[in-house]
């Protein structure tokens, strides 16, 4: 069992008042809050051993390099990657996806097909549209049903030997749907296609095992899992990372440079041109240690309790529609909903005055909103440091906003 009050005390921001009210932070899907230990690791780096990495013989440079590479090992271990060099540091999920899309430019042929799910964030749609446009490839969509679940029979029909790549998120940011990625990966492999899983929303809630999943690429951002912004990873199987050309040219990613010809460095440096986000990488490692110290099994149990409680409470509000799976075992601790006749933005604005942070709008997933023919939703996304008392405050606030607006 988690000691929530003890955990909350580790997050300085949570004891704040916002607009004169105790903060209720339910916008974890956008970014999580950071525990003191993660904040301290950034301060410690800049206070004690700030130096550029992989290039200096001096002591500070070696300390910084060791800490950065230590973080890579922690991440490798967390995701159970076979090799540490299969973990590429990027600025986050968006950059990781763009890196792979860029690499596939040299692999895709005209007429090849890419399959993307209907549940994607724009960052896992737009790079593939851009790639298809450049290469004359075709983008196909796995449709969803009214409960925000992918229709797997339709996926089966889309797969063929023309399919080169399949893209899907592990958990949908807009609806919280937990997608059947094991099945998606296996079926793609049966036709010889590679799979990239967007784990941005899954990693705060569960611990993926990339070898057990047998996934080709898995991407995520640190900032949704207690780490800082501006850092994330691309996990790629060695055979795939070996095939893809570098994404950015510059320092660190070369073996030799002459004006006639440049040869590239080995993995992971081939994809890590320029001075990286050193403190971010180190603090990402700290965040992973922190979350593992809380324990993903306990996080899952507690967050599910919040989801069940929150769903029941929100259903008490008259005129509410909740989007996403009815079966809560297929859903992360995200509740996306609307109140009849009221624009989500108006509710978000009023409850902000009451100290409550939620996201309203299309959540960078416009195709999902188009499917439901709505402008957006109110999204309450819970983390392991949230409480049932906060859910009560939130539901009362939505009721109050509804009264003011109707
Ligand atoms: N993929 C998914 C599933 C996401 O939820 C997000 C961010 C991204 C990719 C992009 O991540 P980034 O770290 O590169 O920006 N999602 C959200 C959200 O739901 N609200 O704000 C950001």
- Most informative mutation of 28, 30, 123 for ligand 1 (most atoms within 8 A of CB): 123
- Most informative mutation of 179, 196, 197, 201 for ligand 1 (most atoms within 8 A of CB): 201
* Cα–Cα dist 201/219, whole Å: 10
CA angle 151, 155, 159 (to 5 degrees): 175
Q: Can you give the pLDDT of all 406 residues of the chain as single tens digits?
A: 899 999 999 999 999 999 999 999 999 999 999 999 999 999 999 999 999 998 778 999 999 999 999 999 999 999 999 999 999 999 999 999 999 999 999 999 999 999 999 999 999 999 999 999 999 999 999 999 999 999 999 999 999 999 999 999 999 999 999 999 999 999 999 999 999 999 999 999 999 999 999 999 999 999 999 999 999 999 999 999 999 999 999 888 889 999 999 899 999 999 999 999 999 999 999 999 999 999 999 999 999 999 999 999 999 999 999 999 999 999 999 999 999 999 999 999 999 999 999 999 999 999 999 999 999 999 999 999 999 999 999 999 999 999 999 8
Residues acting as catalytic residues? 364
The predicted pLDDT at position 392 comes to 98
Q: Phi, psi at residue 212, to the nearest 5°? A: -65, -40
| DSSP 3-state of 335 | strand
Domain boundaries, the chain: 4-28+295-405, 49-292
Beta-carbon neighbour count of residue 117 at 10 Å?
Answer: 24
3-state helix, strand, coil in the chain (%, to 5): 45, 20, 35
Q: Which two tokens stand for residue 294?
A: 């809380």
Residue 330 Cα, ligand 1 centroid: separation in angstroms? 20
- The CATH number that domain 49-292 falls under is 3.40.640.10
CA angle 68, 209, 91 (to 5 degrees): 40
- % of residues, the chain, pLDDT over 90: 95
* Cα–Cα dist 385/9, whole Å: 9
**Position in ligand 1 atom list of the atom nearest CA 359:** 20
Instruction: Give the CA-trace dihedral at 396, 398, 404, 406, to 10 degrees.
Output: -120
Please report which helix (H) or strand (E) contains residue 106, including its range: none
The predicted pLDDT at position 26 comes to 98
The predicted pLDDT at position 254 comes to 86
The predicted pLDDT at position 252 comes to 83
Q: List pLDDT tens digits, range 125-156.
A: 999 999 999 999 999 999 999 999 999 999 99
Q: Which two tokens stand for residue 41?
A: 């690791």
**Position in ligand 1 atom list of the atom nearest CA 92:** 14
Is the shortest distance between the CB of 123 and ligand 1 below 6 Å? yes
Is the shortest distance between the CB of 336 and ligand 1 below 6 Å? no
Is the shortest distance between the CB of 281 and ligand 1 below 6 Å? no
Spacing of C-alpha 125 from chain mean position: 14
Is the shortest distance between the CB of 94 and ligand 1 below 6 Å? yes
Is the shortest distance between the CB of 120 and ligand 1 below 6 Å? no
Is the shortest distance between the CB of 30 and ligand 1 below 6 Å? yes
Q: List pLDDT tens digits, range 251-294.
A: 888 899 999 998 999 999 999 999 999 999 999 999 999 999 99
| CATH T-level fold of 4-28+295-405 | 3.90.1150
């Amino acid at each position: 069992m988690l000691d929530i009050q003890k955990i909350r005390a580790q997050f300085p921001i949570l004891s704040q008042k916002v607009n004169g009210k105790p903060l209720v932070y339910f916008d974890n899907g956008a970014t999580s809050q950071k525990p003191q230990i993660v904040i301290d690791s950034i301060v410690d780096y800049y206070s004690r051993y700030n130096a550029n990495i992989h290039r200096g013989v001096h002591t500070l440079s070696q300390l910084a390099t060791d800490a950065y590479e230590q973080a890579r090992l922690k991440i490798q271990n967390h995701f159970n990657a076979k090799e540490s060099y299969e973990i590429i540091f990027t600025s986050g999920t968006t950059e990781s996806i763009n890196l792979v899309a860029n690499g596939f430019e040299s692999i895709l042929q005209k007429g090849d097909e890419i399959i993307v799910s209907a549940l994607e964030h724009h960052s896992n749609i737009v790079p593939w549209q851009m790639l298809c446009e450049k290469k004359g490839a075709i983008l196909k969509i796995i449709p969803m049903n009214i409960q925000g679940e992918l229709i797997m029979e339709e996926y089966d029909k889309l797969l063929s030997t023309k399919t080169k790549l399949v893209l899907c998120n592990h958990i949908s940011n807009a609806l919280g749907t937990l997608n059947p990625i094991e099945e998606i990966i296996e079926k793609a492999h049966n036709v010889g296609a590679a799979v990239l899983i967007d784990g941005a929303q899954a990693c705060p809630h569960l611990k993926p095992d990339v070898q057990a999943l047998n996934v080709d690429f898995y991407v995520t951002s640190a900032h949704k899992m207690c780490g800082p912004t501006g850092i994330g990873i691309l996990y790629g199987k060695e055979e795939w990372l070996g095939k893809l050309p570098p994404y950015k040219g510059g320092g660190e990613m070369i073996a030799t440079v002459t004006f006639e010809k440049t040869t590239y460095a080995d993995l992971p440096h081939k994809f890590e041109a320029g001075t990286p986000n050193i403190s971010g990488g180190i603090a990402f490692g700290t965040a992973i240690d922190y979350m593992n110290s809380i324990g993903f099994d306990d996080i899952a149990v507690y967050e599910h309790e919040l989801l069940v409680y929150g769903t029941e409470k929100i259903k008490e509000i008259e005129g509410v529609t909740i989007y996403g799976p009815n079966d809560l075992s297929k859903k992360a601790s995200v509740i996306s909903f609307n109140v009849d006749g009221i624009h989500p933005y108006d509710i978000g604005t009023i409850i902000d005055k009451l100290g409550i942070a939620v996201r309203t709008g299309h959540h960078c997933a416009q195709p999902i909103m188009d499917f439901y023919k709505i402008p957006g939703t109110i999204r309450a996304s819970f983390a392991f440091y949230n409480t049932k008392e906060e859910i009560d405050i939130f539901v009362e606030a939505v009721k109050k906003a509804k009264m003011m607006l109707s």
